Amino acid sequence: MDVQSWTFVLVGLSFALYIGVAIWSRAGSTKEFYVAGGGVPPLANGMATAADWMSAASFISMAGIISFAGYDGSVYLMGWTGGYVLLALLLAPYLRKFGKFTIPDFVGDRYESNTARIVAVLCAIFVSFTYVAGQMAGVGIVLSRFLEVDQTTGVLIGMGIVFFYAVLGGMKGITYTQVAQYCVLIFAYLVPAIFLSILMSDNPIPMLGFGGSGVDGVPLLQKLEGLHKDLGFDSYLDGSKSTIDVFMITASLMAGTAGLPHVIVRFYTVPKVRDARKSVGWALVFIAILYLTAPAIAVFARTNLLDTVSNQPYNEMPEWFTKWESTGLLAWEDQNGDGIIQYTGLSSSIPNELEVNRDIMVLANPEIAALPDWVIGLVAAGALAAALSTAAGLLLVVSTAISHDLLKRAVMPDISEKGELRAARIAAGVAVVIAGWFGINPPGYVAETVALAFGLAASSFFPALLLGIFSKRMNRSGAIAGMVCGIGFTAGYIIYWQFLNREISAADRWWFGISPQGIGALGMVVNLVVATVVSRFTAPPSVGVQAMVEDIRVPKGSIPAHEIEV
Amino acid sequence: MSETSPNNEPSHSQAHPPAGSLSSDQRAAYWSRNIRLLVSLLLIWSVASFGCGILLRDWLDQWVMPGSSFPVGFWFAQQGSIIIFVVLVFIYARRMNGLDREFGVAEDED
């Protein structure tokens, strides 16, 4: 079989699996729709969380980003895993004890304010759509490249699948589908990595292989560092970002991760507080398997690419080169007309002739390394699993935010269980359509809005939740003032540099050299300080709320979600 | 950065219905043990990532990890910190479950 048929077979099989799982686990009540009935075992929930978390960006782009940025790419590796430590120690067990379904639930009840609830709803919807746009575009790219349909058809196929299991199955359907998707995506990520590791370092474990010696006896990292120096690229082992910026970006991504609504909601789905604690651990294990492999792939792929293309004649390039050129992700322009590919960095005197999109480092990797055809099909299925699982989790947050937080808790408290479930399904359906529209017409600034999403989560949700649990004195005025100042500060800085003054944005003009990506951590500090000061000058929260805080700090008597009367 | 003072309990909290079957003294003791545990784990968390992976990286990079060619700081940033994170979360879950049993607030087995 050729690549095309393998891709059809593997993608088709994986889709059939997801649909089968979705039918088997469809939701019958709002509780099943929102939190899968609160009965998901911790290990399964850990896998589902990992699939939910690892998006098209993690699967397709992350290794590529590290490949180009070297050490600087560590901010994603540490930021997106370190956030789970914060989640496990500071948020998940207490929110599970609190019960209910969503972050706006907690914010609204803890701070006794519908305003705070609605601010939280809007933030949750904004953050989710920002993400979903990227996922749907990712589905489109993968399907169009591997199945050779056009981008629009690709997105429509993806929408159809997500619509089917998200709208039918709700959280229950999504959770069990995500378990299947995790298995597909991690297998698809590891197989090429192991192949490459054996090829390049003779060690079947990629995490060890990239720190070992190449088959020619030269340590791989040193070889790559040397290639980077010779070709005028930034040092791979040192990167080019300032220490303070690396520090702040890592901190923002950590706090942002812990504050992302679609991640937190996953820990409402386990039966007990104990399970919530353990479940974060499992989630992190499953995430770490991919995150520890990504830097290895980065080194293998980068070395391989430089070896294959640098200073080689264009007409001797293998087949994949022209195939990826046709997608526009790879572009060669023979500036000096010598027919040889000069691929060089900024500090080289020879002009660069090759533009390489970071996404192809993972997608084209199996072809660059001449791996068997079925591996290429597998990578396509894995990338789709990553994109679809994340999209479904986010769409559920949007639909819950609308049917539960907005309708049931704020606008129409008398809505029946059946009516609420119907509203949730309609909201999920509408959200899929909007997400699909973004996928077909992706906004030109996805990366910038993602920085905004993390910045907002870090400067609003994370401190509001943290203070709500750890400070009994924190009250409504403090929390709202903190959130408003935190969001205002962070959004203002990001919008100023990323949208209004893009062309003059540079490290020496930023405050203390902190990039817009890293400002969320400072926004978080602003939030914490403002909230604490304001709360000291205003009345303490009601006795009922203080009792609630006491209650969520101790696991016993963990009431199953939805049985708490409000 | 992430710690809020646990000592700001308002004085009238005594009057509240107890969480579980604990007296308010026991609750305070349980909570301060929890805070102590998580402060020490977060200390390790920050030393591994912000310390070894970022601030001390240049200095640590003068050595390589034994048996490999990873500069130590680089290894912490791309491998070590992640491995330590996983271990920390499991230690927390284990120690807290022990604490729950000690105070008789562990949830019932099914």
**B68 domain residue, yes or no:** yes
**B39 domain residue, yes or no:** yes
A203-212, A245-254, A327-336, B58-67 — which is least confidently predicted? A327-336
pLDDT averaged over chain A?
86
**Percent of chain B whose predicted confidence (pLDDT) is above 90:** 63
**Alpha-carbon distance B85 to nearest alpha carbon in chain A (angstroms):** 6
Residue B86 is nearest to which of A247, A288, A554, comparing CB atoms?
Answer: A288
**A448 domain residue, yes or no:** no
Residue A562, pLDDT > 70, answer no
Average of per-residue pLDDT across B27-40:
94
**B65 domain residue, yes or no:** yes
Residue B93 is nearest to which of A86, A278, A554, comparing CB atoms?
Answer: A278
| Higher per-residue confidence, A121 vs A130 | A121
User: Residues B59-88, buried b or exposed e (16+ Cβ, 10 A)?
Assistant: ebbeebeeebbbbbbbbbbbbbbbebbbeb
Average of per-residue pLDDT across A519-532:
96
Cβ pairs A/B, distance under 8 A? 180
Predicted local distance difference test score (pLDDT) of residue A36: 76
Closest CA in chain B for residue A556:
B105
Predicted local distance difference test score (pLDDT) of residue B21: 63
Q: Which of B72, B76, B78, B88 to mutate to test the interface with A (most CBs of A within 10 A)?
A: B78
Q: Which residues of A touch B27 (CB under 8 A)?
A: 550, 553-554
Predicted local distance difference test score (pLDDT) of residue A214: 81
Helix and strand numbers (H, E) in chain B are 4, 0
**B91 domain residue, yes or no:** yes
Q: Which residues of A touch B61 (CB under 8 A)?
A: 237
Residue B11, pLDDT > 80, answer no
Q: Are A337 and A270 in contact (CB under 8 A)?
A: no
Find the CATH number of the domain harbouring A164. 1.20.1730.10
Predicted local distance difference test score (pLDDT) of residue A527: 96
Q: ipTM for the complex?
A: 0.90
Token reading at A489 = 């500060």
User: What pLDDT digit, counting tens, does each position of A348-403 carry?
Assistant: 888 899 998 887 888 888 888 888 889 988 998 998 898 888 888 888 888 888 88
User: What pLDDT digit, counting tens, does each position of A462-505 carry?
Assistant: 999 999 999 999 999 999 999 999 989 998 998 888 778 777 77
Residue A256, pLDDT > 60, answer yes
Closest CA in chain B for residue A560:
B107
Contact check, Cβ <8 Å, B19/A77: no
**B13 domain residue, yes or no:** no
Q: Are A245 and A513 in contact (CB under 8 A)?
A: yes
Residue A287, pLDDT > 90, answer yes
**A510 domain residue, yes or no:** no
**A496 domain residue, yes or no:** no
d(C-alpha B88, C-alpha B81), whole Å: 10
pLDDT averaged over chain B?
83
- The number of angstroms, rounded, from the C-alpha of B85 to the middle of its chain's C-alpha atoms is 10
Cα angle: A45, vertex A279, A396; to 5 degrees: 40
The domain of B51 spans 21-102
**B83 domain residue, yes or no:** yes
Q: Are A390 and A52 in contact (CB under 8 A)?
A: yes
Contact check, Cβ <8 Å, A556/B88: no
Contact check, Cβ <8 Å, B85/A288: yes
**Residue A445's pLDDT band (cuts 50, 70, 90):** low
**A43 domain residue, yes or no:** yes
| Higher per-residue confidence, A525 vs A142 | A525
Average of per-residue pLDDT across A117-121:
86
Is residue A313 classed as helix, strand or coil in its secondary structure? Answer: strand
User: What pLDDT digit, counting tens, does each position of A24-42 carry?
Assistant: 877 777 877 787 777 788 8
Q: Which residues of A touch B5 (CB under 8 A)?
A: 471
**B15 domain residue, yes or no:** no
Average of per-residue pLDDT across A300-324:
88
Contact check, Cβ <8 Å, B27/A74: no
d(C-alpha A513, C-alpha A522), whole Å: 12
Contact check, Cβ <8 Å, A556/B6: no
Predicted local distance difference test score (pLDDT) of residue A536: 95
The domain of A111 spans 3-306+366-442
Residue A470 is nearest to which of B1, B4, B110, comparing CB atoms?
Answer: B4
Strand partners, A355: A331
**B14 domain residue, yes or no:** no
Say how many domains are in chain A. Answer: 1
Contact check, Cβ <8 Å, A471/B8: yes
Say how many domains are in chain B. Answer: 1
User: What pLDDT digit, counting tens, does each position of B18-31 carry?
Assistant: 445 677 888 889 99
